[in-house]
Chains A and B, each alone.
Chain A
Amino acid sequence: GESVGLHLPTLSVQEGDNSIINCAYSNSASDYFIWYKQESGKGPQFIIDIRSNMDKRQGQRVTVLLNKTVKHLSLQIAATQPGDSAVYFCAERYFGNEKLTFGTGTRLTIIP
């Protein structure tokens, strides 16, 4: 029979607009968070990270926001480009552990 896969949240954004991708993490003891981008046929690629002692961190066209109170992480991409189309994963790690636990991902589609 047909298998049921993960339902990937999908976000469609007009080229040039800003996009916001959200992630709820699970472990209140997590102290380090990363956003990865995965393009079709490729491995996940590091975008930006943030530690739990910070609320916000900015990179080139990307900003990560961390709200520890509600265990929420977001990735903002400014002035989206066609090359931003990909699946975006958040990942968390808790103190003293090297393992990264990944979320299910969000598919971002840029509309030309």
Chain B
Amino acid sequence: DAGVIQSPRHEVTEMGQEVTLRCKPISGHNSLFWYRQTMMRGLELLIYFNNNVPIDDSGMPEDRFSAKMPNASFSTLKIQPSEPRDSAVYFCASSFDSSRGYTFGSGTRLTVV
């Protein structure tokens, strides 16, 4: 099992550019979560999907952020346009059974300059 796979590991982009983060959950897992980690705010849940359907996006900061899960093996988090305050580590996590914890990916470190 390769675990939750995120790409890219690091992304540096200029303010105003579009950024797309990618996630492949563990095969067979039916829930997928996007978290953001910063020194200021710690780990924050942005959005989560169950069976590819967005369930709760109340943590998405604003309209510049969007997430999709077109199938059970792939999800994207897009920021357009990006701003310096979006700089953070973005984690994707997946789970099979909501009664257990999640498995996290290694994260994407985003720097917007």
Contacts and interface: CB of A to CB of B under 8 A. Distances in A.
- Central interface residue in A5, A32, A98, A103, by most chain B CB within 10 Å: A98
Contacts of A46: 101-103
A70 interface: no
B39 A102 contact: no
- Central interface residue in B40, B101, B107, by most chain A CB within 10 Å: B101
A99 B32 CA distance: 10
Nearest to B49: A98
Given A42-B106, A43-B91, A105-B42, A34 B101 contact: yes
A99 B39 contact: no
Interface residues of A, number: 24
Contacts of B55: 98
A60 interface: no
Interface of A: 3-6, 32, 34, 36, 41-46, 49, 89, 91, 98-105
Contacts of A36: 101, 104
Q: Which secondary structure characterizes the binding site on chain B?
A: strand
A100 B101 contact: yes
Contacts of A4: 40
Nearest to A104: B42
A105 B101 CA distance: 17
B39 A5 contact: yes
B71 interface: no
Interface size of B as a range: 20 to 34
B101 A91 contact: yes
A98 B101 contact: no
A99 B101 contact: no
Nearest to B42: A104
Nearest to B98: A98
B99 to A, nearest CB: 7
A102 B33 CA distance: 13
A3 B98 contact: no
10 contacts: A4-B40, A6-B40, A6-B41, A6-B42, A41-B106, A42-B107, A44-B43, A44-B91, A98-B48, A100-B45
Interface in B20-52: 31, 33, 38-43, 45, 48, 50
